[in-house]
Structure 1
Amino acid sequence: MNEPTDRQRRWDRRMETPLAIASLVYLAGYAVQVLAPGLDPVWRDLCLAMTLAAWAVFAFDYGVRFRLSGLGPLRFVRTHLLGTVILVLPLLRPLQMVRIYEQIQRRQDKPRLTLYARVMAYSSLTVALLGFAGALAVLQHERGAPGATIHTFGDSLWWASETLTTVGYGDVTPVTPVGRVIAVGMMACGVALLGAVTGSFSSWLIQSFTREDEKGPPGNSPGAP
């Protein structure tokens, strides 16, 4: 994997704020379109324009990164898989915030949080963004479908929480093909994130207990009577 050049690093720093704003604008515009179906057409068109403008920012950033990388198209896609997925799937574009948060943490060449804290922080941020975006997407496709059990945003949030935590009570489930595809993706992400958080927390506990065992009781310390 090629190391980032100085031009790529400068571009990363320059695009931190625009990408963060574009992510929030996209999520806000999409949320308004889904949660306010009876909105005045003028405002709906404005929200649509906001989401398209945000997508244009992502597409422009992706094109510049491709140009600066000097890689072929296939190799660039393999080495920038998250960016490619975010560009293609609107549902995942808010996850761009996670990568931006990582860049900000490393701005001084040293993360401000420990490894375990970073894993849990990033996982929590990802779960929140993915759950909110997934709930919006499922509501958009399920609302009004024959036999649907997801009718309100509260229903979709409850379903997203069940799915991401892999609980799956089954009281509300998607019935449309698109809704079920979204469910499969969220199940996979939920298993991965839950495993990352659990593994990180377990490692932190083991490391803490190991340090305590190495210290030993006061009576066993060197020079103790």
Structure 2
Amino acid sequence: MFETDERRLAQWERRVEWPLTGLAILFLVAYAWQVLDDRSTPGLHVVLEIVLWLTWLVFALDYAARLKLAVDKRKFFVSHLFDLLTVLLPMVRQLRVLRLITVFKLLNRRFEDRFRERVGIYAAGVTAVVGLSASLAVLDAERHHPDATITTFGDAVWWTLTTISTVGYGDRYPVTWEGRLVAALLMIGGIALLGVITGTIASWLVSRLSGVEESVAEAEQSTLAELRLVRAELAELREELRATKTATKTATET
């Protein structure tokens, strides 16, 4: 019964994988449109807001469905606590920028295994998504504050680059608590991102080296087998020569 239920959970995750990935991309596009087109008409703003909340609702329903299908709900709750936080926190208006964390997590879960062997593509993709999300979030939180130093998308991108690379020029910095929250998450995420990329590269190198070692071992085994065969043939030739010499010697003496 336990294995059957766990298979149901795995089947559910496989079934909704592509739809959720599409919704995550739609979510990111709608949020970017809403942030970058600050002078959009009220009607368009309402449409984009509806799209954002509907897609977020689907994410919340997915979490609820997975929780229901999980056999050990306590274990699922503990191991997926971050998922729960990304669902609950954006319900607070001031924390709506955290909705992008859900998008990033879904996209990363979808493409991580597929691009793990292509380290460069995976690293560039993750960095681009994190950078874009952070730029949009900090711009959304900062630009309407009277003391803001981040008022354009270019400012936000520059701030993201200097923050995620740990350079920190200090010419652009968040002044609102929402912007500082984004900054803290980006700093932590930047460190984690470097760790993930390093681990991915190390894993890729280990798998490559393991393949090389296996090939070398197979080649050594093949070489040893050939050497044994050559030695056996040489032994046979020695026996034949010895027999020939003995026969020749006998014939000569006779």
Instruction: Give the TM-score taking structure 2 as reference length.
Output: 0.70
- Residue by residue over 1:141-161, the C-alpha shift from the partner in whole angstroms, topping out at 9 and shown as x without a partner, is 110313211110111011112
Preserved contact between residue 116 and residue 200 of structure 2 (Cα < 8 Å): no
Distance 2:21 2:208 in 1: 36
| Equivalent residue, structure 1, for 2:155 | 155
Preserved contact between residue 6 and residue 71 of structure 2 (Cα < 8 Å): no
| Equivalent residue, structure 2, for 1:180 | 180
Change (3 A) 1:153 1:43: same
Distance 2:205 2:8 in 1: 41
Query: Match for 1:101 among 111, 114, 136?
Result: 111
* 1:5-154 to 2 correspondences below 5 Å: 5-72=6-73, 74-88=74-88, 89-95=98-104, 96-102=106-112, 105=114, 113-114=116-117, 117=118, 121-154=121-154
Preserved contact between residue 150 and residue 156 of structure 1 (Cα < 8 Å): yes
Distance 1:171 1:46 in 2: 35
Change (3 A) 1:193 1:59: same
How much identity, in percent, do the aligned residues show?
36
Deviation at 1:70, TM superposition (A): 2.7
Change (3 A) 1:195 1:75: closer
Distance 1:11 1:18 in 2: 12
Q: Which amino acid aligns with 1:99?
A: R
> Which shifted more, 94-103 or 38-47?
94-103
Q: Which amino acid aligns with 2:84?
A: T
Deviation at 1:134, TM superposition (A): 1.2
Structure whose CA Rg is larger: 2
- Residue by residue over 1:63-116, the C-alpha shift from the partner in whole angstroms, topping out at 9 and shown as x without a partner, is 1100000333x532211234324323312022111112246x3xxxxxx753xx
> Which shifted more, 198-207 or 164-173?
198-207
Deviation at 1:166, TM superposition (A): 1.5
Preserved contact between residue 85 and residue 92 of structure 1 (Cα < 8 Å): no
Cα-Cα RMSD? 3.0
Distance 1:13 1:199 in 2: 26
Change (3 A) 1:85 1:162: farther
Distance 1:121 1:85 in 2: 29
More helix by share: 2
Distance 2:56 2:165 in 1: 29
Aligned pairs, number: 205
Deviation at 1:49, TM superposition (A): 0.7
Deviation at 1:123, TM superposition (A): 4.0
